[in-house]
Structure 1
Amino acid sequence: MGYIQTNKGDFFGGIESASEANKFLTKSNDSAYRRALSTNYNNIGLSFHFLKEFRKSSYYYIKTLQYIDSPEDKYLCYNNIGDLLISQKKFDSAKYYLEKATPTKTEKTFSKVINNLAKAQYQLNKNYDPLPQFYKALEIRQKINDGEGLNSSFETLSTYYYDKDKKLSLEYAQKMLKEAIQNNSPDDQITALKRIIRLDPKNYFTNFIKLDSISDNVQTLRNKHKSQFAMVRYDVAQKDAENKNLKLKNLEDDNKILILLGTLILLVLIIVFLRKRQKQLKQEKELEVKNTQLKMSKKVHDVVANGIYQVMAKIENQEDFDREKTLDELEFVYEKSRNLSYEKAGEEKEFSQEISELIASFNNASVKTFTAGNSSSVWTNISAPVKEEIYQVLRELMVNMKKHSKASHVAVKFEKADQNIEIQYKDNGVGISGDLIYKNGLRNTASRIEGIGGNITFETKIEKGLKVNISFPSS
């Protein structure tokens, strides 16, 4: 259908039918399928060539080459590509493809090749004489009675002589018209008459009437050809729909029992799956509880038992030990054990909550503690070692406040700024001189902050109390 439509001038219809046919040509390794694919792609390329869609035409001609196995078919395709390139005035490229086609043994293809090659060479070099090749192509076409080829040769010679010999150009245009009428080629008749009208002004009106009549007939024929396969397509579509409905009806009748059986099997499988899943979830929950218990036991051992053992070892091995320092260490172990008792099974406490609870643990009747900005987002991307160091620094500040500052109000502010986290500690206690900072349990804070790449400053020269600024990288 696509091939017939293209030959009748219904180029869009030819492209549509050929594209539809390609959907059924899926066995690209089968020789018969490859031949059909190459014919289809060539037909699409030819249709786009007539429509002057040169880029699309070139694409489909190249696709044609991928499926051609016959050398002669390749030579014909090379000629088509060369002819397309001449239409685009790409004469160097056209010459390259046409020369690849010259080994053809088919006279019809050879006449096309030498005629087009002479055109390209003449356009590249106006001193080149294309006439021997033009006449040779004409001679071959007359010999094999190639009507379409004769139209092409007469058009080529008329075009060549158009600027050189108007009389001779007119003669070849008239020969083209005669041959086009004989082989019933209305498109070539139109081309010939357009040339004759320009070259024979005396008979302008007569020739124009002919051209107008042929153009009307061509338009009528093309409209007819556009709908020539409409009924075929309709009948095929209707038959296909009937077949599908029949198959569906038979399928429904044959499969009713199977569907019912399948449903029952599915229900049994669902029940088995749900029971198995329920048992699995119960086992997973029991395992989770056991793992949580083991985890809590390990924490108690690591935090409480090890902490107390460490303090006992210091008391046992040191004749003179620092009572205040030992009390601090025991208080730290106590706080850690208390935090463990608050933890819920299977949950990890957020660091912001740990910090809030640390500061709040120093809140009593005589001291009020406040926190600001301590949201979970502040501690995003902060590693566990850094969090531990910050926790210890804040703990040391709070312990120092409790022992030495006599403060009634303590405020700790947290802020994420640029690439840093800023912590500001402030109390309204008695304050502390710079010389005493490292004697009051704060000697480790500076080294801890420096260890995580941060800075700490103690503002002692204020009206009342102590102000400490801490800054460290947020990632």
Structure 2
Amino acid sequence: MKHLSIPLSFLIFLSCSREETHEPQPIDNPYYDQAFTYLDSGPVDSAFFYLNLAKDVFLEANDSLNAAYCLTQMAIILTNQGDHFGGQETSLQAVAYLNQQNRAHHHYLGSNYNNLGIASRNLKDYKRSLDFYDLAIKFSDDSLDTRIYLNNKAVTYKEMENYSEAYNIYQQVVEETSKDPREYARVLSNMTILKWLQDPTYNAIPEFLRALRIRKEENDLWGLNASYAHLTDYYQKKRLDSAWYYARKRYEVAKQIESADDQILALRRMIRLGPSDSTKLYFATYQRLSDSVQSARNAAKNQFAVIRYEAEKNKADNLRLQKENAENAYQISRQRILTTVIAIIAILLLAGSVYWHRKRKQRLELEAQNRIKAHQLKTSKKVHDVVANGLYRVMTEIENKPDIDREGILDRLEVMYEKSRDISYDTEVDVPSADPPDFNDKLAGLLTSFASDETKVVIVGNDFDLWETVSLAVKHEIEHILQELMVNMKKHSWASHVAVRFERIGHELHIHYSDNGVGLPKTFTYRNGLTNTGNRIKNLRGLITFDTEVEKGLKIHLSFPVF
């Protein structure tokens, strides 16, 4: 985790800028000194704890400037740790102790409004973010600070996709950055990405590489991280091998600077752009890192909330003790003490009773909602399996068979009608009451019903002996699973050859499905049918594996235990 340190640092998107703050001269306050020791060396929650204590000391001494300075530092810590609402709240508290008419306060007003701008931008409140940056610029008394605030404002316009306004800001500051290589490279890189975003045909590579060269010479790791991100974005639709190369470079630099967020962004691109044989490894790393970052941020938010709560609680306790001591100095009464104790116990009992009642009510409401959702899901599954897939199978047979068994079709439609009516009355229709004879013939009929002049269906291993010891419930599930696969094939794959192979290995039954259709797209997501298929396999304690490659069709392997 990256710790905030003095000089004051602000994290900004696509760049890393530091803002030098004019530290106010405080009164003798040991908490203040301890806080800045932790700001320099960590941990950040300890710095936050002592800043909070130091702030209270300054307030007691009527030192509003230093109290505001402590609050500003606390707000920046909260924002950098992902608690943007907390950062906003604390910054707004700091504003109350700063005087806009006093020029000695202007620098701190600028820093505080800049943090409000960052927090608002991270919360996607762009209009308010721009207003706060304008206030930061208004009160800025240093050209470097002003350029930082302008850069943050440009980043906000970029996130709003208002690229022309962002570019105008960078044009305003680019000449002032010529003497600082790192700052110049940052502005050059950001201007170039804006040119390209406005005109996708613009050749941005020379300027990107120029900024990259400067950052390498300056050993500016944060700048290199931004350059590699820009190059990855530029190449991802032009040259995948180059985009893949720069995404990996960004990941390496992100690990050096210990930026978990940038590592996650780099891994996300590597998963999308990299070869298929390495995708699983990168995805596992991405998932582990993403979960770790989220857990750390949640823990940090909770920790800061606890610190503030404990501080306020201690203040309240101190005030209560002072009041009790003053009262005890004038009057000591056993009756008053007894009455107070009884009142506290009654309040605690009442509060406990109210709390228990509310928790119980919430639990009952949640259980009721869960039951409703489970019932809705079950009904949806029945409609999909019984009615939708059944109708589609009948439609397929009508389409592909020249000789239509009119009476047979009507009988099957009548059965589906009865089943759909059973669903409306919430009657179980899933499992038949008797084991169908010759289940292998029934499966063969199901699979071949989807064959046509354009689609050949080959069945291997569907022998009578294979199903002899398989339970009725399992057969029912397998029938619906295969029907779902064939319906999906007919609807989406455009396959001309379909093969279904059955085999039994020990106590496991394996079903291998393959077709030469279009396969599954990279953006494939489970919908109702395949979600139900996955749930059915899970109910059978089995596994389902999708193996899809572009122009090579689709392979699905199903396996589950049978006894």
Greater C-alpha Rg: 1
Q: TM-score, normalised by structure 2?
A: 0.42
Q: TM-score, normalised by structure 1?
A: 0.49
